[in-house]
Structure 1
Amino acid sequence: MSLHDELTAAQRCLDDLVRAVGRLEGQVESGLDIRRVRTDADHLRESLALLRAAAPPGTATARPDLVTISDTPYDTSLWTDADDEGLGSARTRGRRAP
């Protein structure tokens, strides 16, 4: 995975965590423990934003160039000087596999 993909996956997980903490706040009595969890989730959100901002430029949108491969068959004359090494016994007449 690229850095951008990893940061996006981490952001999704963090968003899920923040939503879960919000649901927990509605079910658990307000107290120090739930406030600490909420604060920790907020700190994680800030840290991830800083990490995303510190990422090297160009990594956020860098994608490998796509290469189009034609479906038309290759010219068989390209392979006339090639030997059959590595092609298997089925490609060589009169020979059998060991």
Structure 2
Amino acid sequence: MSFHDDVTAAQRCLDDLDRAVTRLEQRVGSALDIRRIRCDSDHLRQSLALLREVAPAAGPGPQLVTIPDTPYDSTLSADADDEGLGARGRRAP
């Protein structure tokens, strides 16, 4: 899915949530919990609108880098210190 498809799907889910909250509100009235859900839903809608505005600047996502299965060249770390052990050929004090 593309970014815009994901945003559209999230928008549809928010619309479904609003309809469900409206039905709940009709059954139980305008209780504190319903008002909190309505407020949270409004915040999600605002955040989604902000995300939609930023989308053109986001550009393509990160590109995958394939790592070969062949072993690394052992000469790359020939004179490196072993972590926690120190340099090769030296004794600990």
TM exceeding 0.5? yes
Equivalent in the alignment of 2:28: 28
CA RMSD of superposed structures (Å): 1.7
- 4+ runs deviating over 6 angstroms: none
TM-score normalised according to structure 2 size:
0.58
Question: How many residues end up aligned between the 2 structures?
Answer: 59
Mapped partners of 1:10, 1:29: distance in 2: 27
Equivalent in the alignment of 2:14: 14
Mapped partners of 1:44, 1:19: distance in 2: 15
Deviation at 1:51, TM superposition (A): 0.6
- Identity rate, percent: 71
Deviation at 1:29, TM superposition (A): 3.0
Mapped partners of 2:13, 2:30: distance in 1: 24
Equivalent in the alignment of 1:45: 45
TM-score normalised according to structure 1 size:
0.55
Higher relative CO (CA 8 A, sep ≥ 6), structure 1 or 2?
1
Deviation at 1:14, TM superposition (A): 0.7
Provide structure 1 residue ranges, at least 5 long, that are not aligned to the other structure. Answer: 60-98
More helix by share: 2
